[in-house]
Amino acid sequence: MTTIALSDWLLARINREDGPPLHRQLHEALLAAVLEGELPAGRKLPSSRLLARELGVARNTVIDVYETLAAQGCLETRHGSGTYVADLSVERIAPPGPAASPEAERAAPRLSARGAAVVEGARVFPRQWGAFMPGVPDVTEFPTRVWARLHNRHWNRAAPERLSYAPAGGLPALRTVLAEHLRTARGVRCEPWQIVITTGIHQSIDLTARLLTDTGDTVWLEDPCYWGLRHSLQSLGLKLRPVPVDAEGVNLSSVSGPPPRFIVATPSHQYPMGMVMSLPRRQALLDYARAHGSWIIEDDYDSEFRYGTRPITSLQGLDRDQLVIYVGSLSKTLFPGMRLGYIVAPLSLAAAFAEGVAELYREGQLQQQAMLADFIAEGHFAAHIRRMRGLYSRRRQALLEAIRAEFGETLPVMGDNAGLHLILHLPGLDDRAIAQAAVEAGIATRPLSGYYHNPGAGQSGLLLGYACVKEEAIAPAFATLAGVLRKFGA
């Protein structure tokens, strides 16, 4: 499509006399052009000046729309070169429709009960980037040059053991620097041999559940909590019991009955609500575990990102009884695609956990572990976290301001001054319908009610991730979302 053809295509879809504001119409038309393939991946767009002249609109309108689309991941701005249609091809392979595949239609998928539950409840988005995808850090800020240098260093002469299966527990060099990092940054009390490298929180929880529970056992989860754990644990034959969360964190006094095999908790920054667990509640949790022989899994998922001053130590650091299994990952601090998490196992479990991970999953990726050990030891990790903390803090502020600019104080915002997302409460509104409409407008969010054990009984709201949106793109992207919210009466 030439610039003129594009202008014509857009003009045919814009109604100057009637309908939504011009910038919203233009946004929707360009989004459609990208998603429907009219503008293929890699195509250079006309400059904002040129397109504005062709369309007869203000140049700022075009700039705004380009920025919104860039924030949505549909366009890419290459400095000094221009604006291009992003490659969205990672989501393009799908089974043909029934007409194209009569065989697939004839055969029902015959899943097991647990299999059907996994697939029916699947929540993974087709896209993993753009405003306001929660839980995704700004991976474009990752220092890829440093990473490339480390790659060259370790691949120039790769010891054969490094390309083979991982030894029990992972690469010692990485376990050593991680132990040091967790001791100083999170107050975790650990030795390198207590660290077990995994591919992330899913594997960390799966391993813990396989080693510490049997089919039919009960485990407790915070309510609300990260949805991704439910199917994993259920398909191991476990019974899940939700424990309500209030402003101080998980509240054990509201549950009774037989004690669980373990309790999964997020003391530093409750997921997804964002509050910090109070000290009395932490003590109550440890006391309960000791009295009833339960383990505690402490998921310290994004504790590096606190923008205020209050220092929070880990629950593991308070534990005097070796009852806490501490889990974390580098998905939020570096990039999710790395798939690197870790467990700090209690003394009595460390050897079993290290052997268990090797036996059950046969992991590898030792070259990446070696690169990462250097990345941490040479100070790049700490520097990256410091830098991202500044960026994310400003983005959070920008999102708060955008919310205030659109809605004043009418929509309450929740979440401590920390993390990668905040929650916009929508009392009385249908957050699932709103999230669906937002996706159709090019904005990814997750409905808060979906994090509850019983979604119908949960609070209504949207999780807005601000970490993977450039500061200048936040206001325009939120304006698009505000348009959706208003349609639903916000």
Q: Which residue has the tokens 């949505």?
A: 72
Q: Which is nearer to a copy of itself, 232 or 397 (CB)?
A: 232
Binding mask 12-51 for a copy of itself (x = CB under 8 A): ----------------------------------------
Token readout for 75 is 């366009």
139 binds a copy of itself (CB under 8 A): yes
Is the Cβ of residue 53 or residue 127 nearer to a copy of itself in the bound state? 127
Of 92-121, binders to a copy of itself (CB under 8 A) are: 92-96, 101, 103-104, 107-115, 118-119, 121
Give 178 or 411: the residue with its C-beta nearer to a copy of itself.
Answer: 178
219-258 footprint of a copy of itself as x/- string (CB under 8 A): ---------x--xx--xxx---------------------
Rank residues 27 and 231 by Cβ distance to a copy of itself and give the closer one. Answer: 231
Smallest distance, a copy of itself to C-beta of residue 423, A? 21
CB of 75 vs a copy of itself, minimal distance in Å: 12
Six-digit token pair at 441? 């407008």
Contact 428, 482 (CB under 8 A): no
Cα separation, 419 vs 415, in Å, equals 9
Q: Could you give the CA distance from residue 182 to residue 184 in angstroms, rounded to a whole number?
A: 6
Cβ of residue 139: shortest distance to a copy of itself, in angstroms? 4
Residues 180-199 that bind a copy of itself (CB under 8 A): 192-193, 199
The nearest distance, CB 4 to a copy of itself, in angstroms, is 29
Phi, psi for residue 250 in degrees, rounded to 5:
-65, 140
**59 vs 432, beta carbon nearer a copy of itself:** 432
Return the residue of 7, 266, 314, 365 that touches a copy of itself, per CB under 8 A: 365
CB-neighbour burial class of residue 125 (10 A; exposed 0-12, middle 13-18, buried 19+)? middle
Task: List the one residue from 21, 42, 337, 390 that touches a copy of itself (CB under 8 A).
Answer: 337
Binding residues for a copy of itself, total number by CB under 8 A: 112
Q: Which stretch binds a copy of itself (CB under 8 A): 240-248, 363-371, 385-393, 398-406?
A: 363-371
The reply to whether 379 sits near a copy of itself by the rule CB under 8 A is no
Residues 388-447 binding a copy of itself (CB under 8 A) are none
Q: Which range of residues in 22-30, 32-40, 311-319, 346-354 is near a copy of itself by CB under 8 A?
A: 346-354
Q: How far is the CB of 201 from a copy of itself (least distance, A)?
A: 8
Per CB under 8 A, the segment of 16-24, 169-177, 304-312, 400-408 that binds a copy of itself is: 169-177
Question: 18 exposed, middle or buried (CB, 10 Å; 0-12, 13-18, 19+)?
Answer: exposed
Instruction: Using CB atoms within 10 Å of the CB of residue 93, give its burial: 0 to 12 exposed, 13 to 18 middle, 19+ buried.
Output: exposed
Smallest distance, a copy of itself to C-beta of residue 338, A: 7
Contacts of a copy of itself in 147-166 (CB under 8 A): 147-148, 151-152, 155-156, 158-166
Residues of this chain, 281-300, that bind a copy of itself according to CB under 8 A:
293
Which residues make Cβ contacts (< 8 Å) with residue 388, sequence separation at least 6? 137, 138, 141, 305, 333, 467
What is the smallest separation between the CB atom of 19 and a copy of itself, expressed in angstroms? 32
CA distance 51 to 55: 6
Interactions with a copy of itself, residue window 255-284 (CB under 8 A)? 261
Tokens matching residue 207: 């391993």
Residue span binding a copy of itself (CB under 8 A) among the ranges 26-34, 336-344, 393-401, 448-456: 336-344
Residues 455-484 that bind a copy of itself (CB under 8 A): 468
Query: Could you tell me which of 375, 371, 365, 378 has the C-alpha nearest to residue 156?
Result: 371
Residue 77 as a binder of a copy of itself (CB under 8 A): the answer is no
Whether the upstream peptide bond of residue 167 has omega within 30° of 0, thus cis, is: no
Closest distance of CB 440 from a copy of itself, Å: 19
Q: What are phi and psi of 474, to 5 degrees?
A: -70, -45
- Kindly tell me which of 366 and 485 has the beta carbon lying closer to a copy of itself: 366
Residue 212 lies near a copy of itself (rule: CB under 8 A): yes
Rounded Cα–Cα distance for residues 427 and 190 (Å): 43
Backbone angles phi, psi at 27, to 5 degrees: -60, -45
**Within positions 307 to 326, which residues make up the interface with a copy of itself, using CB under 8 A?**
322
**CA dist 276 to 281, 311, 459, Å?**
10, 11, 19
Least Å distance between CB 78 and a copy of itself?
8
The three-state secondary structure class of 246 is strand
Instruction: Give CA separation, 313 vs 63, 177, 184, 229, 272, in Å.
Output: 44, 19, 10, 24, 19
Nearest-5° angle of CA 217, CA 220, CA 225? 135
| Contact predicate 213/439, CB 8 Å | no
